[in-house]
Amino acid sequence: MNKLVTQEMKTSLAIIASRIITYLNNLGIGHGEQKKFTSLVSPTPFFIDQFSHKQLINRGPVIREWIETTNLIYHQSLHHEEMQGLRDLLETGLSPEMLPYHRRIFKTGPIRAPLFMRMDQPDFGKAVEAQTPGSGWGYYTAMAELYKTDNVIGREFVKSVAKHLRLLSGKESSRVVHLLHKVDFYKNEAEHFAKAIRNEGIDFTICVRSIPENIESYDIVLRHYMEELGQYEGWQNLLELYIQGSIEIEPPPSVLTDHKVSLMLPFDSQTMNHYSNNVRNLFPITHLVDPFRRYQINLNGNRYLSSLSLFDIINLKNSERPLALKYSGLNPKLRAGGRGVYNLAMSDQRNNVKKMMEKVIAGYIPIEFFDEKPSFPLHCPSEPWLLQNLCLKRFPFIYLDAKGKIVNDELNARINPFYAFPLNGGSELIGCIANLRNSWKVHGQVDSVTTILAVKKRRYYF
163 and 305 share one domain = no
Establish if 278 belongs to a structural domain. no
Q: Using CA atoms, how far apart are residues 86 and 348, in angstroms rounded to an integer?
A: 36
Residue 198 lies in a domain: yes
Q: ω into residue 100 within 30 of 0, thus cis?
A: no
Residues 128 and 142 in one domain: yes
Which of the listed residues 366, 389, 412 is the one where a domain comes to its end?
389
Determine, yes or no, domain membership for 15.
no
Choose one of 345, 364, 389: the last residue of a domain.
Answer: 389
Among the candidates 368, 389, 410, a domain finishes at 389
Residues 165 and 225 in one domain: yes
Res 5: pLDDT:
54
| CB proximity list for 183: less than 8 A, separation 6 or greater | 208, 209
Claim to verify: residue 321 and residue 226 sit in the same structural domain: no
* 412 in a structural domain: yes
Residues 130 and 145 in one domain: yes
168 and 89, same structural domain?
Answer: yes
- Are 228 and 289 within one domain? no
pLDDT, residue 300, reads 63
pLDDT at 318: 82
Per the DSSP assignment, residues forming a β-bridge with 414 are: 435
Where the chain has pLDDT below 70, the residues are: 1-9, 299-304, 347-351, 362-382, 458-462
Domain that holds residue 308: 285-389
Q: What is the pLDDT, as a whole number, of residue 8?
A: 67
Residue 158's CB: how many other CB atoms inside 10 A?
Answer: 23
CB 346 within 8 A of CB 319: no
Flag whether 132 is in a domain. Answer: yes
Report yes or no on 64 lying in a domain. yes
Same domain for 450 and 361, yes or no, is no
Q: pLDDT value at position 266?
A: 95
Whether 167 and 297 map to the same domain: the answer is no
Residue 18 lies in a domain: no
- The pLDDT, as a whole number, for residue 103 is 96
Specify whether 52 is located in the same domain as 95.
Answer: yes
Q: How much is the pLDDT for 36?
A: 85
Provide the whole-model pTM.
0.91
- For residues 41 and 223, give the distance between their C-alpha atoms in angstroms, rounded to a whole number: 30
Q: How far apart are CA 205 and CA 221, in angstroms?
A: 10
Q: What does each C-alpha distance from 255 to 213, 312, 334, 338 come to in angstroms? A: 25, 33, 16, 20
pLDDT recorded at residue 147? 84
Same-domain check for residues 384 and 404: no
Total tally of structural domains belonging to the chain: 2
* Biggest alpha carbon–alpha carbon distance for the chain: 76
Residue 240 lies in a domain: yes
How do 220-222 and 175-180 pair as beta strands? parallel
User: Phi, psi at residue 268, to the nearest 5°?
Assistant: -80, 140
Neighbours of 7 (CB within 10 A): 8
Q: Are residues 55 and 102 in the same domain?
A: yes
